[in-house]
């Protein structure tokens, strides 16, 4: 689908509507609307506790115009697994003939940390569903605490930058490769900055027989300390700096979806963000160098995996 067709599908999408209470500039609602617009089939969704769940379902209102289940922080994949099992039993008994798609949403706190056991179990069992991690790189719903998705050098409320430590010292966990290690049919990394790419990957994920995982960069102006108007621009800088490369793994085969013509320095992505401001104070240049070196190394590894070396 071309961008014009995509925009029309998203704007006409009745599955996730306006009226939610997400922060200005939050990328999560855009991600959800785009993904749900990628299929014309009925969809049932499970949603882990987090920003998306809290702000889209403040009683007595809801932005979800599909069957939707809120489960605990740690078990959305297990919840949707049970729904799928019930659906399959009803189909075997002839009580349901409709082709229904199943999806679970979780933030990085749920996906990388608290709920990774549940996610791993659902992937290993081979349930036919799509799992979406909207990755804003921290526990944003509760104040911006560090998660294992928080990038190297960032300051978080539970891992603040200070005189003795210039931000988080551990590299970001790689959820895409963890999911791919389960030998599932489809895994992809996407960004809110390229909705056509996201929609095509979501369509492919819905049409995949078996588990599919989408990990999508979800910019967070409130905790990242950026302007709401810069949400898409910032997400594009993440892609153009190769901090957040766009690629997919289909039946074990890696495919690079975008290669910047002029690779942007990672500092250009980080500088507008309050969570990285300490890195631009004299004396912390070594951290900027470390981060750039790490991004360059991971980018070259990915290019080799994709046959682009």
Report d(CA 249, CA 141) in Å as an integer: 30
8 A C-beta contact, residue 199 and residue 6: yes
Q: Going from the first residue of the chain to its last (309 residues), give the mean pLDDT of each consecutive group of 10, the final group possibly shorter.
A: 68 82 94 94 97 94 95 95 97 95 97 97 98 98 96 97 94 98 98 95 97 98 96 98 98 97 97 97 96 98 93
What does the pLDDT read at residue 25?
95
What does the pLDDT read at residue 55?
95
Residue with tokens 């999408």: 13
Residue with tokens 């980018």: 299
CATH of the domain at 126: 3.40.50.970
CA dihedral for 23, 236, 32, 184, sign (positive or negative): negative
The radius of gyration of the chain from alpha carbons, rounded to an integer in Å, stands at 19
What does the pLDDT read at residue 3?
64
The count of residues in the chain is 309
What does the pLDDT read at residue 14?
76
Report d(CA 281, CA 265) in Å as an integer: 17
Tokens of 198: 């996201």
Domain count, the chain: 1
- Return the percent helix, strand and coil in the chain, to nearest 5: 40, 15, 45
| Backbone phi, psi, residue 232, to 5° | -70, -40
What does the pLDDT read at residue 18?
84
| pTM metric for this prediction | 0.96
Containing domain of residue 61, as a range?
A: 3-305
């Amino acid at each position: 689908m071309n961008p014009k067709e995509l925009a029309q599908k998203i704007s006409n999408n009745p599955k996730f509507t306006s009226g939610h209470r997400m922060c200005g500039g939050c990328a999560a609602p855009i991600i959800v609307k785009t993904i749900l617009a990628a299929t014309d089939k009925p969809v049932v969704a499970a949603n882990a506790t987090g920003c998306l769940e809290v702000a889209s379902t403040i009683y007595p209102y809801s932005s979800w115009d599909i069957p939707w289940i809120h489960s605990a922080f740690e078990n959305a994949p297990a919840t949707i697994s049970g729904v799928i099992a019930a659906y399959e039993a009803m189909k075997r008994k002839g009580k349901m003939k409709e082709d229904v798609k199943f999806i679970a949403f979780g933030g990085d706190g749920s996906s990388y940390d608290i709920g990774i056991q549940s996610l791993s179990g659902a992937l290993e069992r081979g349930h036919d569903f799509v799992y979406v991690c909207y990755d804003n790189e921290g526990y944003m719903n509760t104040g911006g605490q560090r998660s294992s998705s928080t990038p190297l050098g960032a300051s978080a409320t539970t891992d603040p930058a200070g005189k003795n430590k210039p931000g988080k010292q551990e590299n970001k966990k790689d959820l895409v490769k963890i999911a791919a290690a389960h030998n599932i049919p489809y895994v992809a990394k996407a960004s809110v900055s390229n909705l056509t790419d996201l929609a095509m990957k979501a369509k492919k994920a819905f049409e995949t027989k078996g588990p599919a995982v989408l990990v999508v960069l979800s910019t967070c102006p409130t905790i990242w300390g950026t302007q709401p108007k810069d949400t898409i621009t910032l997400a594009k800088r993440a892609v153009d700096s190769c901090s957040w490369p766009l690629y997919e793994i289909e039946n074990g085969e890696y495919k690079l979806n975008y290669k910047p013509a002029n690779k942007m320095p990672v500092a250009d992505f980080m500088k507008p963000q309050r969570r990285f401001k300490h890195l631009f104070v004299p004396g912390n240049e070594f951290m900027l160098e470390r981060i750039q070196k790490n991004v360059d190394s991971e980018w070259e590894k990915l290019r080799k995996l994709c046959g682009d070396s």
